[in-house]
Structure 1
Amino acid sequence: MLSLTVSIRQQRLSVMQGDECLVVYPVSTASAGAGEQNGSGCTPRGRHYVRACIGGGLPSGTVFVGRRPTGEVYTPALAAEYPQRDWILTRILWLCGLETGRNRGGSVDTQRRYIYIHGTPDTEPMGVPRSHGCIRMRNADLLALFDQVQPGTPILIEE
Structure 2
Amino acid sequence: MWVLIELAAQRLTLFAEGQALRQYPVSTAANGPGERLGSGCTPRGLHRVRLKIGADCPLGTVFVGRRPTGEIYSEALAAAYPGRDWILTRILWLTGCEPGRNRGGQVDTLRRFIYIHGCPDSEPMGVPGSHGCIRMRNRDIIELFAAIPKGTAVEIHAEAS
State the partner residue of 1:141.
140
Q: Report matched runs for 1:44-123 at 5 Å.
A: 44-123=43-122
State the partner residue of 1:14.
13
Size of the alignment, in residue pairs? 158
Cα distance in 2 for partners of 1:84, 1:141 equals 23
The structure 1 segments of at least 4 consecutive aligned residues displaced by more than 2 Å after TM superposition are: none
Shift of residue 75, structure 1, vs aligned partner? 0.1
Give the letter for the 1:150 counterpart. Answer: P
| Cα pair 1:15 1:21 within 8 Å, conserved | yes
State the partner residue of 1:151.
150
Instruction: Report the secondary structure of 1:128's partner residue.
Output: coil
Give the letter for the 1:62 counterpart. Answer: T
TM-score by length of structure 2 reads 0.97
Instruction: Please list the CA deviations of residues 91-137 of structure 1 after superposition, one character each: whole Å capped at 9, or x if unmatched.
Output: 00000000000000000000000000000000000000000000000
Give the letter for the 1:89 counterpart. Answer: L
Cα distance in 2 for partners of 1:52, 1:149 equals 11
Shift of residue 18, structure 1, vs aligned partner? 2.5
Give the letter for the 1:101 counterpart. Answer: G
TM-score by length of structure 1 reads 0.99
State the partner residue of 2:22.
23
Cα distance in 2 for partners of 1:120, 1:152 equals 23
Instruction: Return 5+ residue gaps in structure 2 as ranges.
Output: none
| Cα pair 1:63 1:88 within 8 Å, conserved | yes
Give the letter for the 1:58 counterpart. Answer: C
Instruction: Report the secondary structure of 2:71's partner residue.
Output: strand
| Cα pair 1:4 1:154 within 8 Å, conserved | yes
| Cα pair 1:52 1:150 within 8 Å, conserved | no
- The percentage of aligned residue pairs carrying the same residue is 62
Cα distance in 2 for partners of 1:124, 1:60 equals 16
Cα distance in 2 for partners of 1:18, 1:30 equals 29
Give the letter for the 1:103 counterpart. Answer: N
